[in-house]
Amino acid sequence: MKQVISIAFAQENKNYDEIVEFRGEKVRLTQYAIGFNYSLARTLIEKYDGICDVICLSGVPPRIQTKSGVIEHPSSQKLKSLAKVTPLVDGQLLKNIYIPWAFRQYYLTNKSTLENKSVSMYTGALQKNLVDIIEELGGNLCLADPYFFLRMPYNLHSNNGLEKFLRTLFPVMSKMKFKESTVATFRLEDQKIYKGLKEFFKGEIFVGNEGTIQIIDKDHLKGKTVVLDFMGTLMKERLIKAGVKDCISCMPKVVKGRYVNFSVLEALMQALQPDSLSADDILWWISELDLKVEHHQLSEDSKSIQSTDKFAFIIHPLSKDYLFKHPLLKKLKPAKKQLGGILEKALTYTPGFFYGKISGIISDGNGKEVEGLIYTVSDTPKMLMEQNPEKVYKKLVDICKDAKKNGANIIGLGAFTKIVGDAGISVEQRSPIPVTTGNSLSACSTLWAAKFAVDKIGLVKKKSSTWQGKVMVIGATGAIGAVSAKVLATRWKELVLVAPRAYKLLELKEEIEAIAPNCKVSISTSPNKVIKECDLIITTTSARGKKILDIKQVKPGAVICDVSRPFDISEEDAASRPDVMVIASGEVQLPGHVKSKVDLGLEGNIVYACLAETALLAMDGKIESFTLGRNISYEKVLEIDRMAKEHGVKLSAIMGHNGFISNDEFKLCKEHALKKRNQDG
């Protein structure tokens, strides 16, 4: 059995000797918490060198990488050089690679937690990797290194300032001994003497390592957010007692039954391989262990503080005709043929603006009420797609900034605003709040609607849970099309994928065959070749109203679920085939007593699914960029489906071009279909 010796230099009363399981292998993990006893640290390293498999050392100053070179406290350097046979690690290699990446990933999906917040760090020198990344992400830094090390009454505010401080004063700091009495107390009353602490204590987020937080006074942390490299069970209890609001911990629980710090985890990694750990090895371990930052709510009061009560959503006119619905333009409606094109182009130069509110949205699950702030840009789909994406991005990001000022913690992109350029990614990167395209719920509601309509028509047989028919997805390689196809393949006997780019179809076909080996999958760049055999057709394109299929060729009794906005199937085409059921997918019903002061072209509490996803994330408190880009994960669709059921977001009554489709209309469509099939033989 492998043995790891952990020397916790800055800890006390945390000694243990136990067998832990790591990646299927049992390891004896023995920890000595030595309370700053330098001579004992030397003795333990010399005692176990050559006896155990790995020694790990935590709580001593790390090697600090600066622009002018590497600096390290001489005493720390001596301790790390004592082991001659057994590998000795301090967790720094793992920290240097993992923390900047993990913290950045957390930030990108939780911008509201960190964006534009004042960040107070007890010592940037001991957590240089976090200083670099917080500064890069726009945090307002306040570094207490002068007070922490030398009791100087001022703070630092940048990485450059920190490096200058270290270069100037490291000769003095290097002569200081490792002992608890040299660590600053950070008591609230100390700000009377050390004036820099007044600014430091005003921070919204406090960043430190577990060793530092354990020693210092914690009264100033009440109601605050704390960022730690690692949070064990005892530390969690202490933070709760101090009234800390929440804690962002860089190290998740990876060893069954016990939290371990970076030093111990690096030692466990080292114990399972013969060669010294390399950067590539660390990268492999990060992926293998699926390491991620954890966000812990610690105070019951924080739940109400964190509660999200506002979301925002961006819409736009779906055609030139919509422009004339504006109160100032209604009088020009008689001349829309002459003025439509001119007005359409002219309005691209106008900024986005606040349109109105949707209130009274109340979760069936947790009773949380949220309010929607609706914004609009004046660009039609044609103009959005023809403009330089950067121009559109700027317009959308300006709305995101205004939404944040008005209290929104998340924003959704509607219709073609989520198609422009890279499908929301660039907007999200520049937005002060998380952004979602809503495509996960759009895909989900598409499948809800399709199932409902096929059941209502009742002409496709079902064996076990599989429809014994053929389904076609037009626009299959798009965001909604691809994930819909993956789900449908698990429920239908045959699937046809249609999209203009053949190579993308081949890639998608391979993916789907791996997911659903029992489904017969075929591909085509044109729908009309096999459309007469299909029982269900999902259309999800960005054709902007152009004809994508020959309605005359569609099988009698088929259901066409039109996800696209503007519709792929025209009202005239739908009316020409009373034996084919054309439904408009994507509309859902919000829970609560919904009051809307905006005209979305829908009735009551019915909204587009992309808007509903944004509201749903707000109700669930999942303030993150949930859906972005042109790929929607299968798992996200399942997750949003679960959320919808929990909070009461449901498929609305099925709609067509002219409003709700009644049961009588479904019945009549079936009669027409059976009659047509009999005529065709």
Cβ atoms of 381 and 544 closer than 8 Å: yes
Instruction: Evaluate whether 419 touches 314 at the Cβ level (below 8 Å).
Output: no
What is the tens place of the pLDDT at every residue in 413-460? 998 999 898 989 999 999 999 999 999 998 899 899 899 999 999 999
Residue 8 φ then ψ, to 5°: -95, 95
Task: At 659, list the tokens.
Answer: 């409003």
Q: Which of 21, 207, 72 is nearest to 131 (CA)?
A: 207
pLDDT of 404 reads 94
- Please tell me the predicted confidence (pLDDT) of residue 340: 74
Spatial CB neighbours of 588, under 8 Å, sequence gap ≥ 6: 441, 445, 606, 607, 608, 609, 612, 644, 649, 650, 651, 652
Burial 430-449 (b: 16+ CB within 10 A, else e): ebbbbbbbbbbbbbbbbbbb
Residues in Cβ contact with 455 at an 8 Å cutoff, skipping those fewer than 6 apart:
none
What whole-number distance in Å separates Cα of residue 566 and Cα of residue 669?
A: 24
What's the pLDDT score for residue 305? 40
Contact 396, 314 (CB under 8 A): yes
Return the pLDDT at 211.
77
Residue for token pair 């690096």: 266
* Joined tokens for residue 106: 């957390």
What predicted TM-score, i.e. pTM, was given to this entire model? 0.53
Cis, bond preceding 556 (omega within 30 deg of 0): no
Tell me which H or E stretch contains 312: strand 310-315
* Residue 122, token pair as written in the block: 């007890």
Which residue numbers in the chain have pLDDT < 50?
Answer: 301-308
pLDDT of residue 7: 94
- Tokens for 138, please give them: 């726009």
Pairing of strands 492-498, 466-474: parallel
The DSSP call for residue 97 is H
DSSP 8-state assignment for residue 446: H
Place of tokens 């992400």: 137
- As a whole number of Å, the end-to-end CA separation of the chain is 76
Residue 647 corresponds to which amino acid?
H
CA distance readout (Å), 602 to 459, 497, 666: 30, 31, 21
From the centroid of its chain, how far is CA 408?
A: 17
How many Å apart are CA 614 and CA 310, to the nearest integer?
10
Q: How far apart are CA 94 and CA 481, in angstroms?
A: 40
Cβ neighbour number for residue 336 with a 10 Å cutoff: 15
Determine the pLDDT at residue 304: 43
Dist CA 442 CA 637 (whole Å): 9
Would you tell me how many other CB atoms lie within 10 Å of the CB of residue 172?
A: 10
pLDDT value at residue 430: 94
Domain boundaries, the chain: 2-90, 93-305, 442-588+656-680
CB-based burial of residue 428 (10 Å sphere; 0-12 exposed, 13-18 middle, 19+ buried)?
Answer: buried
How far is residue 194's CA from residue 212's CA, in Å, rounded to a whole number?
Answer: 19
Report domain 442-588+656-680's class. Answer: alpha beta
Measured between alpha carbons, how far is 371 from 341 in angstroms, rounded to an integer? 35
User: How many whole angstroms separate alpha carbon 32 and alpha carbon 17?
Assistant: 9
- Amino acid 302: pLDDT: 43
CA atoms of 614 and 428, how far apart (whole Å):
14
pLDDT of amino acid 307: 45
SS3 235: helix
Measured CA to CA, the distance from residue 541 to residue 552 in angstroms comes to 20
